[in-house]
Amino acid sequence: MDQPTTQVLLIEDNPGDADLVRLRLIEGKSPVNVNCVNRLSDGLASLSLETPSVVLLDLNLPDSRGAETFRRVMEHSPNVPVVVLSGQDDEILASKALHQGVQDYLVKGDISSKHLERAIRYAVERQGLLRALEITQKQQLEFKNQFLSHVSHELRTPLTCIHQYVSLLLDGLAGNMLPEQTDHLKTILKSVNQLHAMIRDLLEATRAEGGKMRIEARCVALPDLIRQAVAMLRPTADEKKIGLEIGMDSRLPLVLADPDRVLEVLINLIDNAIKFTPAEGSIVVKANMVQADVSSVYISVTDTGRGISPEAKSLIFERLYQDPDSVDNNRSGLGLGLFICREIIRLHEGRIWVSSELGQGSTFSFTLPVYSLAKLLAPIVVHEGHLRPAFVLVRIDLTPLSNPPRGNWKESWQQCLETLRRCVYLDKDLVLPPMGSAGATETFFVVASTDLQRSGVMTTRIRAQLERVGDLKSKCRVTVTTIPVDLAPTPAGTTMDQQVDTLAELVTQMILINSERTHSKTEPTRRKLN
Amino acid sequence: MSKSKILVVDDDPDLVRALRLRLRANNYEVSTASDGYSAIASAQKERPALIILDLGLPVGDGFVVLDRLQNSDTLAGVPVIVLSARDPQANEERALRAGAAAFFQKPADNDELMNVIRISLGPGTEAKAAWPS
């Protein structure tokens, strides 16, 4: 019978040992092909080129010693079985090796060819089983996710029907309702909405768990988002006679964040606060900077509710956690909300935590990274050790002709952004990351190293190029405005970093002032069940 | 002014009935279809001003319908609002790319749905303008 040839990579620096092992291998009954190298680096290089059936590994090599040797081999090729060939009979090292996934630990002096042959065969076999197990686990996770996705779809269909008919009745489209009937229907609708939220959370948590949750970070003015979240929850708070206040630093920096996702976190935290705060209580949403950490904005939601026990505090962000005290008087959902919040903030590279004492209320806080314009600007505005002489801020607004915008609005403005990037000089102009806007108007900014007089060439080019973007003209109005950046002369002794910081600060202020003006006017619209 | 006609395509008869009641109450004329094939046939015969389309349909799903509509000389300009229970992350982009004017996940907010219908039908000729593909 034709047996497949076993490909052995032998990493061994002692020529005598190498010859011995080779001899033992060749003596065996099954066909074998031995490739011998005497350094770990050569071994890893060989592994990059081709995958052997097994690696026979001496631990003490010229370029690596001890446990480090097998750790590096397995890190490089986790799917190839590794058999350690050691000079000494070291039980502790052997057990460590096996714990870390080495298939066998053989002592050179004890090896017979029969023994070695069998050790290799079993190592290959075991590694194959492990691999199969891993694949099965992955498939199971995938299956679970598909199943949940399917279930959530199937649950939505009857839920939609209930929702439709309850709204028909509530809207008086099937005749007038008595006040008491209307009341009952509103209770049904509330439960339908809860059920809907649970289905959504279920899907979202599944996504987070499978590493499929995505964020699209943009340059965001946080005050808009906070106001939007508070405005959405104001009616719920009013209903319970709970005060809902905002306290923000007047000069908050922009953050690098996904506005939709951050809004989701804010809504979740404020909604929770309302849920756990008794009537006449109060909630404050704050956003501020902390002196010790200038690279983050701190956002917090503080309530005067009953607080959280120390045991609960450590578990509250875990999946499926539920407050044991809330089950009887409040339906608290699936216990996925805070888990989803944590995952969203984690993807932003921020932190989320809670501080609370029983009976004293709670504060949920999270951080978002400050969007650092200085870091982005530095390579553009500094030329041969000097700050360039003049800058302008070019502002491009895309105002949709209809609300909601026609067709795929996101795709349209992304196309514009791409076009803009092609309109500027890469070494002296910078198209800023898009601003997260609450309204329908999409605004882009370009910092250009030129003066107002000469910027006309650029704006003309931008206008001309944008006109050519697909069917943009039929969808929105494009306006291009240029604003000079009035940078005060720098006092002697300011470092280049400080100059860039000053410029970035100035540009940021200009952007904030400019975007406040337009976006605060437009009332946010969001898909929400009523 | 005559009422605008809306074609509702969904294989759940209960949902179709509820939508019909609501659309009629909003002064629209309503015709219905329950699968992909009859959706196209109906659209050709009835010439609706707007179509509300489910994605999971028998005999040609929503994407097939969208594709047929886009490739039809007479129907390419009719705005289509997708109303589906499917996950927007996987389907919204695709539906809009295929020519839909809007995507709503079920259960959708009725006020918002009515609002988008009103805007899509637009004043005068706007609804007949070529829709982005």
Residues A156, A163: Cα–Cα separation, whole Å: 10
Q: Which residues in chain A are closer than 8 Å to B97, comparing Cβ atoms? A: 408, 411
Best B34, B89, B93 member to test A by mutation, with max A CBs in 10 Å, is B89
Residues A244, A280: Cα–Cα separation, whole Å: 11
Q: Which residues in chain B are closer than 8 Å to A196, comparing Cβ atoms? A: 107
ipTM: 0.82
Q: Which residues in chain A are closer than 8 Å to B103, comparing Cβ atoms? A: none
Q: The domain A373-519 is classified under which CATH number: 1.20.120.80, 3.30.70.360, 1.20.1290.10, 3.40.190.170?
A: 3.30.70.360
Cβ separation of A407 and B112 shorter than 8 Å? no
Cβ separation of A406 and B15 shorter than 8 Å? no
Distance of CA A299 to the CA centre of its chain: 18
Cβ separation of A153 and B21 shorter than 8 Å? no
Q: Is the peptide bond before B107 cis (omega within 30 degrees of 0)?
A: yes
Considering Cα of A93, then A94, then A96, then A100, what sign does the dihedral take? positive
Per residue in A269-294, pLDDT (tens digit) is 999 899 889 999 999 999 999 888 88
Element (H, E) at B32: strand B29-33
Q: Considering only CB atoms, which residues of chain B are within 8 Å of chain A?
A: 12, 14-15, 18-19, 21-22, 25, 56, 85-87, 89, 93, 96-97, 101-102, 104-112, 116, 119, 122, 126, 129, 131-132
Residue B18 located in a structural domain? yes
Domain with B91 in it: what CATH number? 3.40.50.2300
| Residue partners of B133: CB distance under 8 A and separation at least 6 | B70, B99
Residue B132 located in a structural domain? no
Residue B39 located in a structural domain? yes
Tell me, what amino acid is at A183? D
> Minimal Cα–Cα distance from A217 to chain B, Å?
17
Task: Look up the CATH architecture of domain A6-111.
Answer: 3-Layer(aba) Sandwich (3.40)
Residues A394, A425: Cα–Cα separation, whole Å: 14
What confidence score (pLDDT) does residue A436 get? Answer: 56
With pLDDT > 90 as the criterion, what percentage of chain B qualifies? Answer: 56
What confidence score (pLDDT) does residue B131 get? Answer: 40
Residues A296, A25: Cα–Cα separation, whole Å: 61
What confidence score (pLDDT) does residue B127 get? Answer: 39
Which among B21, B108, B111 has the least Cβ separation from residue A173? B21
Chain A CA closest to residue B120: A406
Length of chain A: 530
**B28: containing domain:** 5-123
What confidence score (pLDDT) does residue A344 get? Answer: 93
State the helix-helix crossing angle for A337-347 and A259-276, rounded to 10 degrees. 150
CB A503 within 8 A of CB A381: yes
What one-character-per-residue DSSP string does A477-503 give? EEEEEEEE--PPPPPTT--HHHHHHHH
Burial code of A240-253, b = ≥16 C-beta within 10 A, e = fewer?
eebebeeebeeebb
- Residue ranges, chain A, pLDDT below 50: 327-329, 519-530
Q: Is the peptide bond before A404 cis (omega within 30 degrees of 0)?
A: yes
Q: Which two tokens stand for residue A285?
A: 């949403």
What confidence score (pLDDT) does residue A25 get? Answer: 85
Q: Is A395 left (phi over 0), alpha (psi -120 to 50) or beta?
A: beta
Cβ separation of B85 and A160 shorter than 8 Å? yes
Q: Which two tokens stand for residue A235?
A: 């009616």
Cβ separation of A406 and B131 shorter than 8 Å? yes
Residues A432, A376: Cα–Cα separation, whole Å: 9
Task: List the domain boundaries for chain A.
Answer: 6-111, 145-209, 218-369, 373-519
Show which of residues 155-184 on chain A sit within 8 Å of chain B, judged by CB atoms.
156-157, 159-161, 163-165, 167-168, 171, 173-174
Name residue A284's beta-bridge partners. A245, A302
B15: pLDDT strictly greater than 90: yes
Q: How far is CA A64 from CA A39, A51, A92, A252, A527, in A?
A: 8, 21, 19, 51, 59
Q: How far is CA A144 from CA A147, A207, A319, A321, B85, in A?
A: 5, 11, 16, 20, 19
A401 close to B (CB below 8 A): no
Q: Which residues in chain B are closer than 8 Å to A525, comparing Cβ atoms? A: 112
Q: Which two tokens stand for residue A440?
A: 């329908």
Alpha helices in A178-240 (DSSP H): 179-209, 222-239
Q: Which residues in chain B are closer than 8 Å to A195, comparing Cβ atoms? A: none
Residue B100 located in a structural domain? yes
Residues A363, B12: Cα–Cα separation, whole Å: 46
Closest CA to A55 of B112, A69, A425, A478: A69
Cβ separation of B102 and A164 shorter than 8 Å? no
| Residue partners of A20: CB distance under 8 A and separation at least 6 | A108, A111
What confidence score (pLDDT) does residue A528 get? Answer: 36
Q: Which residues in chain A are closer than 8 Å to B18, comparing Cβ atoms? A: 161, 164-165, 168
Element (H, E) at A46: helix A40-49
Q: Which residues in chain B are closer than 8 Å to A261, comparing Cβ atoms? A: none
Per residue in A158-212, pLDDT (tens digit) is 999 999 999 999 999 989 999 999 999 999 998 898 888 888 888 888 888 878 7
For chain B, the domain total comes to: 1
Length of chain B: 133
Q: Which residues in chain A are closer than 8 Å to B89, comparing Cβ atoms? A: 207
Cβ separation of B132 and A475 shorter than 8 Å? yes
CB B94 within 8 A of CB B64: no
Residue B106 located in a structural domain? yes
CB A81 within 8 A of CB A54: yes
DSSP letter assigned to residue A371:
-
What confidence score (pLDDT) does residue A132 get? Answer: 92
Q: Which residues in chain B are closer than 8 Å to A192, comparing Cβ atoms? A: 107
Q: How far is CA A510 from CA A106, A249, A296, in A?
A: 70, 17, 21
Per residue in B19-48, pLDDT (tens digit) is 999 999 999 999 999 999 999 999 999 999
Cβ separation of A164 and B96 shorter than 8 Å? no
Task: Look up the CATH architecture of domain A218-369.
Answer: 2-Layer Sandwich (3.30)
Best B24, B26, B55, B87 member to test A by mutation, with max A CBs in 10 Å, is B87
Q: How far is CA B53 from CA A82, A340, A512, B11, B35, in A?
A: 57, 31, 41, 10, 10
Q: Which residues in chain A are closer than 8 Å to B21, comparing Cβ atoms? A: 168, 173-174
Chain B CA closest to residue A525: B112
